[in-house]
């Protein structure tokens, strides 16, 4: 147990105003058949030696259990879902509408409900593939206002350009690393990967991903190294 902070407030345990410790402790709970550890928060009253939960704390502790379950099951946490949504500068309700989910779906995922695996995959795809999200936006064009569409399209397009730039940078970086290493030391691809801390799998999948017509000339010789 550790004290996070102290607050002077009306205490619901002794029904008096005094300094209350806000404490954190590790607890275990079984959720969906899985036992998880999570950090729970309580208010501690020194007059009654009691730990109590306000309505707000009950909500936060409930979310902490679910986030622990999500982490253990390889699902996005509520904060990660919020981060993806904020990356595209989009409201909970409108993201749900664009994806053709129930209007309150994203709000529930960010607050108390654990998402199913299929929805988790879609959220991850949005996070990693702005181009795909642009397609989703186009598909939902008639379902959202023109103003929202332009706002979200702009945000998604910015993410797309950013991603494209970083991929091109990575391609140049890997091209240089591989070419320079090969020319100067006749190393094998595995040695190059190890030396430069690229996993062979990562390099191969990266090169495959970028093996477009435009890049083919550059990428194919690298794949055959
Ligand atoms: Zn008290």
More confident residue, 130 or 214: 130
CA of 51 to the centre of ligand 1 (A): 9
Q: What is the mean pLDDT of residues 20-31?
A: 96
Q: What is the mean pLDDT of residues 166-174?
A: 67
**CA distances in angstroms from 120 to 18, 35, 91, 93, 105, listed in the order given:** 44, 21, 18, 17, 12
CA of 54 to the centre of ligand 1 (A): 13
Percent of the chain with pLDDT over 70: 74
CA of 37 to the centre of ligand 1 (A): 28
Q: What is the mean pLDDT of residues 1-9?
A: 94
CB atoms within 10 A of CB 127: 18
CA of 150 to the centre of ligand 1 (A): 52
CA of 18 to the centre of ligand 1 (A): 7
How far is it between the farthest Cα atoms of the chain?
78
pLDDT value at position 184? 46
**CA distances in angstroms from 157 to 126, 131, 176, 210, listed in the order given:** 12, 8, 28, 20
pLDDT value at position 33? 95
CA of 19 to the centre of ligand 1 (A): 8
For residue 42, the SS3 value is strand
CA of 181 to the centre of ligand 1 (A): 68
* pLDDT surpasses 90 at 138: yes
Question: How far apart (Å, rounded) are the C-alpha atoms in residues 91 and 147?
Answer: 13
CA of 62 to the centre of ligand 1 (A): 23
CA of 42 to the centre of ligand 1 (A): 12
CA of 13 to the centre of ligand 1 (A): 5
CA of 138 to the centre of ligand 1 (A): 56
* pLDDT surpasses 60 at 69: yes
CA of 11 to the centre of ligand 1 (A): 4
Per-residue pLDDT band at 225 (split at 50, 70, 90) = very low
Flag the least confident range among 22-36, 116-130, 201-215.
201-215
CA of 39 to the centre of ligand 1 (A): 22
More confident residue, 177 or 180: 177
Q: Minimal CA–CA distance to 65: which of 117, 28, 93, 102?
A: 28
CA of 111 to the centre of ligand 1 (A): 29
* pLDDT surpasses 80 at 223: no
* pLDDT surpasses 70 at 68: yes
């Amino acid at each position: 147990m550790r004290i996070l902070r102290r607050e002077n407030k009306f205490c619901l345990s002794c029904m008096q105003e005094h300094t209350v410790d806000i404490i954190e402790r590790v607890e275990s709970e079984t959720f969906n058949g899985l036992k998880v550890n999570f950090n729970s928060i309580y208010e501690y009253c020194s007059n009654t030696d009691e730990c109590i939960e306000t309505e707000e704390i009950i909500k936060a502790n409930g979310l902490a259990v679910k986030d622990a379950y999500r982490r253990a099951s390889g699902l996005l946490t509520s904060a990660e879902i919020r981060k993806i949504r904020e990356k595209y500068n989009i409201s909970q309700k409108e993201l749900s509408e664009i994806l053709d989910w129930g209007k309150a779906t994203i709000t529930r995922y960010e607050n108390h409900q654990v998402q199913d695996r299929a929805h988790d995959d879609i959220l991850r795809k949005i996070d990693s593939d702005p181009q795909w999200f642009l397609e989703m936006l186009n598909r939902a064009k008639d379902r959202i206002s023109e103003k929202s569409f332009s706002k979200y399209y702009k945000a998604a397009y910015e993410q797309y350009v950013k991603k494209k730039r970083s991929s091109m940078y990575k391609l140049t970086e890997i091209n240089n690393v591989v070419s320079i290493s090969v020319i100067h030391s006749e190393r094998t691809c595995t040695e190059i990967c190890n030396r430069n801390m690229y996993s062979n799998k990562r390099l191969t999948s990266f090169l495959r991903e970028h093996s477009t017509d435009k890049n083919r000339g550059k990428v194919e010789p690298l794949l055959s190294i």
